[in-house]
């Protein structure tokens, strides 16, 4: 049969036999699928007939890889084996796979059968290939080992980094995205649609191919190009670990620039706030602290981000023990920064004013929450404020009433704005890099480009004047 579905309970294996179009006869082979293995490969015993010496089993031949066979015993156990006839022999040799179905799915069984055929062509023993495959760890098992032995213990990973990597693996490797109200439904639908390419968890790491990794990357790209690159970066670290422990000989999870996605940087498409816009925004946030006491803590956090140019996570997790020199300095250890580089942030008077305001409302306590500048105001697993995004949206809406040109931009644009205005004021990119605590000057290139935009505008204006000047 050319096209048969699996919806009818009345079907049997006979219905899936492939017919030779020339002879009209059955080829005796079936295009095996996991669904056929689960639903139709069964062994029914006829108890009315006398028991014979022959083993009771049902065998089907795969049409995709000649020699690959699936068998089910009377007890219901389903397994795979490869059968071939050695040169000069009158009988066939059978090599049973160690892993049974569904532990080894159809895709993996075909891959192993192809490897065996390749090894046979080289004169090698199929038993060695099967034995090697049986002890090899899956992608999922190696990732679990890496998370336990490296990710959770190494000092190079910040707590937030560990959280994000684990979340990415949960979504794109285990294919179990965290479901929240009104979110991730699209991701679930995407995973369902592209499950075949995304389901690499059960593949043996030693035998996964670059093509499978490329297909995996492409499938994630259709949902989020930036996520796809990050997941591949995570897997590259896992492969490096696998090389170190001797699981694989080389890291095939290295993607060149053409193989990766051309993801636009945030400032390529979104301009930072202008000085006038930033002033309007900060005034709106200050008004929010007075108008809505319930968002006062979140509003002050936003002000401190705007006045210091620090990352949102650095401000939200800030402790009073990090505030020094009468509220004029913030001290960050290497473990508290993205680039694992300790530094001291000198503060603007406006930032110092925010700290003094927070200090006035502070109540001395040994409670863990009270050690933070911005303790959690609601029941939360975290002792500090989680995310002031709702307050940020309120501030944007309030500011737009004063200046309609203000558009919504993510909170992180406050850091970009701080850096750009600092560069505009000092004209010293090295000084800006030091104040922003960038790991290298390469990060500063995007800000230097921003600074050069005004001369670009002037150049266009001069060209316009030249073209419109009477000859």
pLDDT at 152 over 60: yes
Sign of torsion over alpha carbons 367, 372, 377, 378: negative
Per residue in 318-377, pLDDT tens? 999 999 999 999 999 988 888 888 999 999 999 999 999 999 878 777 788 889 999 988
Angle made by CA atoms 179, 182, 187, in degrees to the nearest 5:
55
Q: Are 282 and 301 in contact (CB under 8 A)?
A: no
Q: What is the pLDDT of residues 12-61, one digit of tens each?
A: 898 999 998 888 899 999 999 999 999 999 887 655 555 554 568 899 99
Alpha-carbon distance of 332 to 334, in angstroms, equals 7
β-pairing, 57-62 vs 329-332, is unpaired
Contacts of 327 (CB under 8 A, 6+ apart): 347, 352, 355, 356, 359
Sheet of strand 17-19: strand arrangement: 17-19, 26-30, 57-62, 68-73, 78-84, 93-96
Residue 261, classed as helix, strand or coil, is coil
pLDDT over 70 percentage in the chain: 88
Q: Please, where are the H alpha helices in 85-221? A: 106-121, 126-135, 139-146, 159-172, 185-193, 195-198, 210-221
Q: In this structure, what token pair is assigned to residue 362?
A: 């502070």
Q: Spell out the residues 6+ positions from residue 94 whose beta carbon is closer than 8 angstroms to its own.
A: 81, 82, 83
Does residue 5 carry a pLDDT above 50? no
Give the separation between CA 22 and CA 38, rounded to whole angstroms. 31
Span 285-306, pLDDT tens digits: 999 999 999 999 999 999 999 9
Rounded distance between C-alpha atoms, residue 461 and residue 255, angstroms: 43
Both tokens of 237, joined, read 């670290």
The verdict on whether omega for the bond into residue 102 sits within 30 degrees of 0, i.e. cis, is yes
Q: How far apart are alpha carbons 461 and 176 in whole angstroms?
A: 54
């Amino acid at each position: 049969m050319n096209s048969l579905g699996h919806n009818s309970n009345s079907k049997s294996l006979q219905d899936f036999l492939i017919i030779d179009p020339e002879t009209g006869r059955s080829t005796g082979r079936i295009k095996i699928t996991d669904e056929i293995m689960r639903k139709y490969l069964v062994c029914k015993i006829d108890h009315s007939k006398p028991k014979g010496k022959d083993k009771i089993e049902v065998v089907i031949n795969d049409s995709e890889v000649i020699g690959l066979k699936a068998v089910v015993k009377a007890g219901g156990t389903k397994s795979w084996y490869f059968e071939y006839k050695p040169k000069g022999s009158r009988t066939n040799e059978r090599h049973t796979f160690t892993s049974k179905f569904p532990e080894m799915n159809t895709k993996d069984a075909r891959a192993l059968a192809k490897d065996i055929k390749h090894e046979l062509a080289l004169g090698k023993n199929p038993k060695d290939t099967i034995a090697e495959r049986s002890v090899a760890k899956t992608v999922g098992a190696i990732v679990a080992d890496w998370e336990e032995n490296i990710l959770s213990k190494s000092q190079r990973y910040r707590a937030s980094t560990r959280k994000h990597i684990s979340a990415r693996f949960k979504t794109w490797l285990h294919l179990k995205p965290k479901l929240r109200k009104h979110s991730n439904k699209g991701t679930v639908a995407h995973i369902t649609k592209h499950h075949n390419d995304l389901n690499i968890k059960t593949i043996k790491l030693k035998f996964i191919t670059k093509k499978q990794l490329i297909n995996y990357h492409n499938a994630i790209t259709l949902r989020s190009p930036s996520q796809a690159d990050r997941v591949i970066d995570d897997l590259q670290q896992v492969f490096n670990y696998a090389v170190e422990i001797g699981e694989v000989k080389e890291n095939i999870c290295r993607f060149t620039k053409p193989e990766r996605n051309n993801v636009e940087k945030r400032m390529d498409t979104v301009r930072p706030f202008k000085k006038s816009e930033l002033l309007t925004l900060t005034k709106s946030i200050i008004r929010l602290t007075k108008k809505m006491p319930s968002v006062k803590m979140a509003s002050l956090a936003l002000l401190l981000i705007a006045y210091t140019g620090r990352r949102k996570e650095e401000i939200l997790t800030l402790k009073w023990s990090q505030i020094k020199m009468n509220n004029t300095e913030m001290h960050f250890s290497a473990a508290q920064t993205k680039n694992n580089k300790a530094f001291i942030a000198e503060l603007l008077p406006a930032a110092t004013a925010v700290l003094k305001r927070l200090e006035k409302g502070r109540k001395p306590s040994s409670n863990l929450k009270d050690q933070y500048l911005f303790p959690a105001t609601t029941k939360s697993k975290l002792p500090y404020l989680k995310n002031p995004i709702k307050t940020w949206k309120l501030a944007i809406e309030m500011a737009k009433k004063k200046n309609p040109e203000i558009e919504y931009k993510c909170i992180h644009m406050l850091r970009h704005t701080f850096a750009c205005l600092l560069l505009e004021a000092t004209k010293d990119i090295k000084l800006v890099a030091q104040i922003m605590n960038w790991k290298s000057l390469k990060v500063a290139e995007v800000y230097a480009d921003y600074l050069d935009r005004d001369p670009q505008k002037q150049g266009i204006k001069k060209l316009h004047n030249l073209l419109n000047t009477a000859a």
